[in-house]
Amino acid sequence: METKKDIMWRIYLVFAGFLLFGIAICVQIFRIQFVEGDYWRSKADSLTTQIRSIEASRGNICSSDGSLLATSVPIYDVRMDLNADGLTSEVFNKNIDSLSLCLSNLFKDKSRSEYNHDLRQARNGGSRYFLIQKNVHYADLHKLKQFPLFRLGKYKGGLLIDQRNVRELPFKELAQRTIGTMRDIKPVGIEASFDGSLQGASGSRLMQRIAGGVWMPLNDKEEVESKDGNDIITTINVNIQDVAESALGEHLLKNNADHGCVVVMEVETGNIVAIANLSRTPDGSYQENFNYAIAEATEPGSTMKLASLLVGIDDGLIDLNEKIDVGNGLMFYCGQKMEDAHPPKKTKLTVREAFMTSSNVGVSKIITHYYANKQQAFLSKLQSFGLNNKLGLQIEGEGRPHIKNAKDKDWNPCVSLPWTSIGYEVLLSPLQTLTFYNAIANNGRMVKPKFVKEIRYHGQLVKAFPTEIIRDSIVSPSTIAKAHELLESVVDSGTATALKNPNYRVAGKTGTAVINHQKFGYDKNNKTYQASFAGYFPADRPKYSIIAVVYAPSSGVYYGGAVSAPIFKEIADKLFSNEMSLHNELAASDSLNKNIPEAKPGQQNDLNKVLASLKVNALTRNAEATWVSTTGSEEGVVMTERNTHIGAVPNVIGMGIRDAIYLLENSGLNVKASGKGAVKKQSIDPGTKIIKGQKIVIELG
């Protein structure tokens, strides 16, 4: 009996323990469910649902005529809710085979049977967010929406589409470095500098986390739509950019150069209409991977001679006809040899002759003669031209210019002055040099280079960027007139005579510098050169200023007149042939033979017949050209090919009404004309992409 009682006592004890444990569980359930229920339910919701950001559509970057340079292209991830409320088993089983076949044919990544198996397995597993395909383009998405099941939509067919945007450059590498990118390493270009305007404002959406850690959007009345980013309208002209990039690439390849750059600027506004930077890749081709025109500050060489002479001219010390004894083109400054690239033809040169032949000895001697005892005055005057200050560009990465002071530790009173006068011991980027030359073309007014002219939102103007004046006049008007004379003499009789032509006048300066580049080092026995040309045209009424710089040419030719000036010429020739405003300015020139009739642009065959009947020489640049521009010369009528690109609005300025209407209507445009005579204005700029049936108004006068 004692043993039995002992066993029963133990049983009761265990039972009581379980009873108390059960009561404790019930109490805890009650407390969690009713006392702390709201807290734990909100906690659960916070873990399974979340307000997540909706990416805004990034704004476009456009050329000056509205062509897309950079845009956000939508890319889609396609998923499927295989347990959607409206997707019945009957509908699913009836269409799954057809859907699997369509998906297999479209994406070609799985067979029909594999798609069928995966979709059935996902439905049996209760998948509400099954991935069909990632990175689907719009054209494929449009086809996919017509597939069996998917054509029924989200609720009956289970189709779910997630959109995101990726950045694309429609013109590929054209001005790629200036357009820029929001890369992880260091964002660059317009993309980086105007990121705040381009990115827009993100929205928000309630999302639910489901199996596999995937977030699925929920319908929510509190959803906030994103706001698209603003569009950036640049100053880049796509046609001029293409010409500049092609010319640079061609001559870099021809001279086997390491890299180079070219910039085309509108003289009056400072608008950068083209900027190209190319460097050689290991396979021998050239690509844009660094903005040399903006960022690379090097010793400019002979293009600096203009600034040096302007100091003395503006101070009233130097006269262009003053004679300089250059001897045999060799000079020593405290034992350091300076020599001319070519021995001078005579021992004494005028200042004008020393400049146009780019005599190092001539320029350094005249500057040393007048400023040896007031070196800081010379340097301060150079700095007053703005050459020692950053330009404050709209995009980041500008190289730091540097002109020394006479009190600097590395200033040698015996050597530094003559070498500075010819462009050594000075640092300038190509764009900083061009800005100075552009000021000369602009009659002394220095304007800030501009890359962006407007910010727009859905076509509406948000902000405009007017031309900024850095200095109203860098020197006196009389000094500017002498600068024009010097620069024109370089092309007429100096180191850039290859640019001389009967159609328009060019003014500019060649530059050849031995460079101590961090990439190449400095080797006296194996020198590395930098060839450049900076100038403007037409010289009598400047419209464009251009600088071309070629680094480390290695085909045996390295002078600026032979390496960089041809780049300038190719760009200027094509600009001249395409812009009738340049021709019109020259049409009134008194230098033309008055016996040569004025001829309107038109079809070359027709012009040849008319000129032949009048016994006037027809001087053609391209016998195969259909449409040509015309310019009178002493020898006859010069005909230059007028580009009429397929798909682009042709240039009909200067043409007669019949030719203009024929050309425009054959391009697919609806023409309306007013007035009499030749076409003097067209409502759509030449080179703009054609929209079939678009109305264009031409004004004659």
Residue-wise pLDDT for 106-149, tens only, equals 999 999 999 999 999 988 888 888 899 998 988 899 899 999 98
DSSP alpha helix (H) spans, 618-673:
657-666
State the Cα torsion 372-374-375-376 to the nearest 10°: 180
Answer yes or no: do 426 and 444 share one domain.
yes
Q: Is residue 448 part of a domain?
A: yes
Please give the full DSSP string across 272-307, using - where no structure is assigned.
EEEEEEEEE-TTS-EE--S-HHHH--B--GGGGHHH
Answer yes or no: do 610 and 534 share one domain.
no
Q: Is residue 118 part of a domain?
A: yes
Question: What is the reported pLDDT for 210?
Answer: 61
Measuring CA to CA, how many Å separate 364 from each of 205, 243, 361, 559, 587? Answer: 70, 37, 5, 19, 41
Closest CA to 298 of 43, 552, 564, 108: 552
Question: What is the reported pLDDT for 203?
Answer: 72
Answer yes or no: do 279 and 350 share one domain.
yes
More confident residue, 656 or 469: 469
Looking from the CA of 58 toward its CB, the CA atoms found within 13 Å total: 21
Bridge partners, residue 507, by sequence: 536
Answer yes or no: do 74 and 166 share one domain.
yes
Model confidence pLDDT, tens digit, residues 304-313:
999 999 999 9
326 by Cβ neighbours in 10 Å (0-12 / 13-18 / 19+) ranks as buried
DSSP alpha helix (H) spans, 221-269:
238-254
Instruction: Identify the band that residue 592 occupies on the pLDDT scale cut at 50, 70 and 90.
Output: very low
**How far, in Å, CA of 253 to CA of 37, rounded?**
76
pLDDT score of 584 more than 60: no
Contact (CB, 8 A) for 78 and 144: yes
Measuring CA to CA, how many Å separate 500 from each of 148, 497, 538, 539? Answer: 70, 5, 11, 11
**How far, in Å, CA of 277 to CA of 380, rounded?**
32
Closest CA to 553 of 242, 280, 357: 280
Q: What range does the domain containing 626 cover?
A: 589-700
Looking from the CA of 483 toward its CB, the CA atoms found within 13 Å total: 30
pLDDT score of 212 more than 60: no
**How far, in Å, CA of 195 to CA of 181, rounded?**
10
Answer yes or no: do 255 and 227 share one domain.
no
Question: What is the reported pLDDT for 587?
Answer: 43
Helix, strand or coil for residue 236? coil
Answer yes or no: do 73 and 100 share one domain.
yes
Question: What is the reported pLDDT for 586?
Answer: 41
Instruction: Identify the band that residue 211 occupies on the pLDDT scale cut at 50, 70 and 90.
Output: low
Answer yes or no: do 518 and 427 share one domain.
yes
State the CATH number of the domain containing residue 654.
3.30.10.20
Q: Which helix (H) or strand (E) holds 354?
A: helix 351-356
Question: What is the reported pLDDT for 327?
Answer: 93
Residue that is last in its domain, among 519, 545, 578: 578
Question: What is the reported pLDDT for 128?
Answer: 83
Contact (CB, 8 A) for 267 and 542: yes
**How far, in Å, CA of 22 to CA of 654, rounded?**
101
Question: What is the reported pLDDT for 678?
Answer: 81
**How far, in Å, CA of 505 to CA of 492, rounded?**
9
User: Residues 637, 640, 646, 647: is their CA dihedral positive or negative?
Assistant: negative
Answer yes or no: do 140 and 9 share one domain.
no
Which residues lie closer than 8 Å to 655 by C-beta, 6 or more apart?
A: 600, 601, 602, 663, 678, 679
**How far, in Å, CA of 436 to CA of 265, rounded?**
12
Q: Is residue 583 part of a domain?
A: no
Residue that is last in its domain, among 208, 234, 260: 234
Residue that is last in its domain, among 201, 234, 267: 234
Closest CA to 504 of 471, 536, 551: 536
Q: Over range 70-91, report the average pLDDT.
A: 87
Contact (CB, 8 A) for 235 and 450: yes
pLDDT score of 589 more than 80: no
pLDDT score of 48 more than 70: no
More confident residue, 682 or 543: 543
Q: Over range 34-59, report the average pLDDT.
A: 68
How much of the chain exceeds pLDDT 70, in percent? Answer: 89
Answer yes or no: do 537 and 565 share one domain.
yes
Which residues lie closer than 8 Å to 628 by C-beta, 6 or more apart?
A: 601, 602, 603, 604, 607, 620, 622, 639, 640, 641, 642
**What average pLDDT does the structure give for the chain?**
86
Question: What is the reported pLDDT for 630?
Answer: 73
Both tokens of residue 39?
């807290």
Model confidence pLDDT, tens digit, residues 503-522:
899 999 999 998 765 555 54
Model confidence pLDDT, tens digit, residues 230-269:
999 999 999 999 999 999 999 999 999 999 999 999 999 9
DSSP annotation of 701 reads -
Helix, strand or coil for residue 103? helix
Looking from the CA of 178 toward its CB, the CA atoms found within 13 Å total: 34
Question: What is the reported pLDDT for 645?
Answer: 67
Model confidence pLDDT, tens digit, residues 441-493:
999 999 999 999 999 998 899 999 999 999 999 999 999 999 999 999 999 99
Question: Mean pLDDT: which of 193-207, 367-381, 588-602 is highest?
Answer: 367-381
More confident residue, 51 or 689: 689
Q: Over range 22-41, report the average pLDDT.
A: 76
Question: What is the reported pLDDT for 585?
Answer: 43
Contact (CB, 8 A) for 133 and 102: no
Q: Exposed e or buried b for every residue in 112-151, given b needs 16+ CB within 10 A?
A: beebbebbeebbeeebbbbbbbeebeeeebeebeebbbbe
Bridge partners, residue 162, by sequence: 77
Q: Mutual orientation of helices 477-493 and 430-441 as an angle, nearest 10°?
A: 110
Q: Is residue 488 part of a domain?
A: yes
Answer yes or no: do 445 and 510 share one domain.
yes
Answer yes or no: do 265 and 199 share one domain.
no
Q: Is residue 584 part of a domain?
A: no
Answer yes or no: do 594 and 561 share one domain.
no
Q: Is residue 253 part of a domain?
A: yes
Question: What is the reported pLDDT for 331?
Answer: 93
Give me the amino acid identity at 128: R
Please give the full DSSP string across 26-50, using - where no structure is assigned.
HHHHHIIIIISHHHHHHHHHHHHEE
How much of the chain exceeds pLDDT 90, in percent? Answer: 50
Total domains in the chain come to: 4
Backbone φ and ψ of 199, nearest 5°: -75, -20
pTM beyond cutoff 0.75: no
Range of lowest pLDDT (98-112, 215-229, 426-440) = 215-229
Model confidence pLDDT, tens digit, residues 396-451:
999 999 999 999 999 999 999 999 999 999 999 999 999 999 999 999 999 999 99
**How far, in Å, CA of 197 to CA of 229, rounded?**
6
**How far, in Å, CA of 73 to CA of 55, rounded?**
13
Which residues lie closer than 8 Å to 314 by C-beta, 6 or more apart?
A: 381, 475, 476, 479
Q: Is residue 106 part of a domain?
A: yes
Range of lowest pLDDT (257-266, 532-541, 598-607) = 598-607
Both tokens of residue 92?
């699913």
Q: Is residue 655 part of a domain?
A: yes
